[in-house]
C-alpha cells in the first residue's frame, strides 16, 4: 500500500506511462467514474496519443487503489489541491526539457525509475519550481516500498505552451547518471550474489572495455565471468568477446555456447 491517509488520498492523482501500459483500459476496468486526461492531447505530441502518459483522478470508490500491483511499476502518484486541467497543463509543460547544449529531450518523470533520480538531483528550490502545484510525488521502488518526495506546492502552474521551460544542468545530468550507476551496481550485486563492490566495479570496467555498454550486456558478461572464472580469459573466447565485427549480443551468445559445450577449456 502507499501509506496515504484518507485526507491525502482524496488529493491524490495517478500518472500512468501509456507507452508501456494500456492505461485507459486499466483505469476504466477498475473505476466507473474517473477523471482522465491524456498529456499528449492538444500538444505537438498528439500524433502519438496512444502512447501518452495518462493523468487519472480515481473516484471515491475506485478499485484502482486495490490493484496497485497492476500499475505501480508503470506510473507514479502525485498529490495536489489543483484541478484536472491546470494540473494536466503543468505536467504537459514538463514533457520535454532543455539540455545543457540547448537541445530538447523527452523527460519521463512519470517513470518510477526516473523520478527518484530526478528529484535527488534537484535543490529544494528546483524541486519546488518543477513541481508547481504538486506537494508530494510517490514512486514505487524495487524494495517494495513507495518513496515520497515533498515540495511546497505553491509555485506557479505552467501552461502547456511553455513546454521546455525547465532546463537540466550538467550538475543534474551528472547526479542522475551517478545515481543510475549506483542502482545498477546494487542490482548486479544482488543478481550475482556477490557482496564485493570492488569486484563488481572491475567486472563493469572489463565489460565496458570490450564494448558492452547496456545493462543487459554488462550483466550477461559479468554472469559468465563469475560462473566460469578464468575460463573466460581463454584466447579463443577473448577473441570473440573483443570482436567489433559481431553485435554484442551475438558475441555473448557465442561465448556462452562455447563455454557450455566445452569448446574452450
Residues 93 and 17 in one domain: yes
Averaged pLDDT for residues 233-249: 92
- Nearest-angstrom CA–CA distance, 227 and 191: 12
Task: Provide the grid cell at 218.
Answer: 554488462
Residues 31 and 118 in one domain: yes
Residues 115 and 65 in one domain: yes
Render pLDDT for 52-85 as a digit per residue (tens, 0 to 9): 999 999 999 999 999 999 999 999 999 999 999 9
Residues 58 and 108 in one domain: yes
- Nearest-angstrom CA–CA distance, 151 and 141: 19
HSE-CB of 140 using CA atoms within 13 angstroms: 16
Residues 6+ apart with CB under 8 A from 255: 224, 232, 237, 240, 241
Q: Identify the sign of the CA torsion 82, 83, 86, 92.
A: positive
* 217 lies in some domain: yes
Which domain range does residue 233 map to?
194-260
Confidence band of 264 (pLDDT split at 50, 70, 90): very low
* 245 lies in some domain: yes
Tell me the CA distances in angstroms from 97 to 11, 93, 117, 157, 197, one per residue in order: 27, 9, 15, 16, 34
Overall pTM surpassing 0.85 (yes/no) = no
Task: Provide the grid cell at 153.
Answer: 506546492
Domain count, the chain: 2
Q: What are phi and psi of 44, to 5 degrees?
A: -65, -10
pLDDT of 3 reads 66
- Nearest-angstrom CA–CA distance, 127 and 109: 12
pLDDT of 261 reads 79
Amino acid at each position: 500500500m502507499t501509506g496515504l491517509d484518507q485526507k491525502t488520498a482524496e488529493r491524490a492523482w495517478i500518472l500512468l506511462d501509456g507507452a508501456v501500459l494500456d492505461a485507459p483500459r486499466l483505469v476504466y476496468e477498475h473505476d466507473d467514474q474517473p477523471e482522465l486526461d491524456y498529456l499528449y492531447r492538444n500538444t505537438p505530441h498528439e500524433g502519438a496519443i496512444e502512447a501518452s502518459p495518462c493523468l487519472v483522478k480515481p473516484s471515491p470508490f475506485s478499485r484502482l487503489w486495490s490493484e496497485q500491483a497492476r500499475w505501480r511499476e508503470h506510473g507514479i502518484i502525485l498529490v495536489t489541491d489543483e484541478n484536472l486541467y491546470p494540473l494536466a497543463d503543468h505536467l504537459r509543460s514538463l514533457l520535454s526539457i532543455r539540455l545543457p547544449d540547448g537541445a530538447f529531450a523527452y523527460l519521463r518523470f512519470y517513470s518510477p525509475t526516473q523520478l527518484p533520480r530526478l528529484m535527488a538531483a534537484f535543490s529544494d528550490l528546483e524541486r519546488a519550481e518543477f513541481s508547481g502545484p504538486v506537494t508530494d510525488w510517490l514512486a514505487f521502488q524495487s524494495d517494495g516500498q513507495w518513496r515520497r518526495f515533498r515540495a511546497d506546492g505553491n509555485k506557479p502552474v505552467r501552461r502547456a505552451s511553455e513546454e521546455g521551460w525547465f532546463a537540466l544542468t550538467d550538475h543534474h545530468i551528472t547526479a542522475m547518471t551517478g545515481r543510475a550507476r549506483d542502482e545498477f551496481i546494487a542490482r548486479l550485486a544482488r543478481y550475482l550474489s556477490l557482496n564485493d563492490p570492488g569486484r563488481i566495479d572491475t567486472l563493469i570496467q572489463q565489460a565496458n572495455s570490450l564494448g558492452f555498454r547496456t545493462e543487459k550486456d554488462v550483466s550477461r558478461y559479468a554472469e559468465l565471468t563469475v560462473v566460469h572464472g578464468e575460463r573466460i580469459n581463454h584466447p579463443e573466447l577473448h577473441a570473440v568477446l573483443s570482436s567489433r565485427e559481431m553485435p554484442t549480443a551475438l558475441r555473448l551468445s557465442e561465448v556462452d555456447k562455447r563455454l557450455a559445450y566445452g569448446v574452450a577449456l
